[in-house]
Amino acid sequence: MKLVLVGPQGSGKGTQAKLLAAKLGIAHVSTGDLLRGAQGELKKEVEEVINSGKLVPDELMLDVLKERLKGGDCKEGFILDGFPRNVRQAEMLSSVTEVDKYIEIAISDEEAVRRLGGRVACEKCGAGFNTVTMPPKQEGICDKCGGKLVQRADDTEEAIRARLKTYHEETEPILEKYEHVKVNGEKSVEEVQEEILKVLGK
């Protein structure tokens, strides 16, 4: 199964994608994670763009994605989280693979800002928490490995606003062009997951 999750930052795409990938036995492909994990030349090229809240160039992003989709874990399918981010990327995606379903996870801007302001991740194992919606058992400490929880460099209020603007201007138009199902992302993690599984007939 080949799925695409579309939604603003803070809509829970990453959280839902991880759960779905485990449940369906397919790969979770987050282009943001791929870029943040970049090394060498690529790291230098993308770091500044990411921290400003802007998008990295489409061609570069597609090259990184194509490499990732060759991974053995993508054989049974994948969930794309963070790609496509604009209509051009959606067209590029159609030229490299078919997609079974586009799923929109919808939340308001106010909710996105509220959630992103509280988002933290473990610097050791990458596990995500949210001081507002999904707090760790002990403040600042990862439940899973005991590592330190830190805010992402692009989760400053200024960068969050820039990313939401980019979402409305560039990403949302994809939803006008591609048939998709819409789920309400303001419900709990479990409820959103259930709704997605329902639309997938699982």
Stretch that binds ligand AMP, among 47-55, 71-79, 123-131, 182-190 (CB under 6 A): 47-55
DSSP of 80-101, one letter per residue?
EES---SHHHHHHHHHH---SE
Complex with ligand AMP: residue 12 or 82, whichever CB lies closer? 82
Considering only 1, 2, 32, 77, the residue that binds ligand AMP (CB under 6 A) is 32
Omega before residue 135 within 30° of 0, cis: no
Taking the C-alpha atoms of 46, 51, 56 and 62 in order, what is their torsion angle to the nearest 10 degrees? 70
Helix (DSSP H) and strand (DSSP E) numbers for the chain? 9, 8
Task: For residue 120, give every residue at least 6 positions away whose Cβ sits within 8 Å of its Cβ, in sequence order, or none.
Answer: 128, 129, 130, 131, 136, 140, 149, 150, 151
Element (H, E) at 194: helix 189-199
SS3 29: strand
CA distance 111 to 75: 35
Residues of span 77-96 touching ligand AMP by CB under 6 A? 82-83, 85, 89
Among 17, 35, 103, 107, binds ligand AMP (CB under 6 A): 35
Cβ 201 to ligand AMP, closest distance in Å?
27
At closest approach, how far in Å is the CB of 7 from ligand AMP? 10
List alpha helices for 30-171, DSSP H.
31-36, 40-52, 58-69, 87-96, 109-117, 157-166
53 scored as a contact of ligand AMP (CB under 6 A):
yes
Residues 140-169 that bind ligand AMP (CB under 6 A): 154, 163
Q: State yes or no: residue 174 binds ligand AMP (CB under 6 A).
A: no
Which of 56, 122, 149, 192 touches ligand AMP (CB under 6 A)?
A: 56
Choose the binding region for ligand AMP from 53-61, 90-98, 105-113, 183-191 (rule: CB under 6 A): 53-61
Encoded one letter per residue, x for contact with ligand AMP by CB under 6 A and - for no contact, window 100-139 reads ----------------------------------------
Q: Which residues bind ligand AMP (CB under 6 A)?
A: 9, 31-32, 35, 49-50, 53-56, 61, 82-83, 85, 89, 154, 163
